[in-house]
Amino acid sequence: MSQMFYSLIASLSAHPYAWTMGAFYVFSNAVAAWPTPAADNSTFYHWAWGFSHMLAGNIAKIIAARYPSAVMASSAVAGK
């Protein structure tokens, strides 16, 4: 188990941008998979849904502005 852990750490330190972009891609698509809040959902769900979509959208804008060649098609930014 420890050998696998050290291999993961070595990969993270050797390829930080690839891991960061991969993590954002997973996060962005997980946010996009959340169902739209209905009227009977809790206030917290409405807040969490809006906050997570705002966060994913702002991160996507930053990545698109700073690294235009790194823009990935995800369901969270496809309509923007």
80 residues of the chain, pLDDT tens digit each: 689 888 988 988 898 888 888 888 888 888 889 899 999 999 999 999 999 999 888 887 877 787 777 665 544 454 44
Residue 75: inside a domain: yes
Query: Which residue range is the domain that position 33 belongs to?
Result: 16-80
Residue 36: inside a domain: yes
Residue 33: inside a domain: yes
Cα distance between residue 32 and residue 28, in whole Å: 6
Residue 4: inside a domain: no
Residue 1: inside a domain: no
Q: What is the pLDDT of residue 46?
A: 94
Residue 7: inside a domain: no
Residue 59: inside a domain: yes
Give the helix ranges, DSSP H, for 1-69.
Answer: 2-14, 16-32, 43-66
Structural domain count, the chain: 1
